[in-house]
Amino acid sequence: MIGKFKITCDEATTICDKAQYGEASLKEKIKLNLHVLFCKICKLYSRQNNILTQVYKGKAIECKAKKFTMSDEDKLALKEKIKEIS
């Protein structure tokens, strides 16, 4: 029974990455959790992966909140340069 849930470290990192984006199945998550119980390296990888995900999500929210637009002066200057080229 346990043999069905045994995976390699390469498989564990792949499942960890899939789980990060919500793409891992329940069976894969169980396999990953069992593997992480015994493998310190994969446990560290999983922890670091989660930290990076949280940092990225926080920065993504900040970026979405900001509006990146040109000032009216810059728009006019750009229009003038386009007219000069045309």
Rg (CA), the chain: 23
More confident residue, 21 or 5: 21
Say if residue 56's pLDDT is above 70: yes
21-41: per-residue pLDDT in tens?
Answer: 889 999 999 999 999 999 999
Q: Evaluate the CA torsion angle 70, 73, 74, 75 in order and state its sign.
A: positive
Instruction: For residue 25, give its domain range.
Output: 2-85
Mean pLDDT of the chain: 89
Say if residue 1's pLDDT is above 60: no
1: helix, strand or coil: coil
Please report the pLDDT score of residue 2 as a whole number.
Answer: 62
Question: How many separate domains does the chain show?
Answer: 1
Please report the pLDDT score of residue 21 as a whole number.
Answer: 86
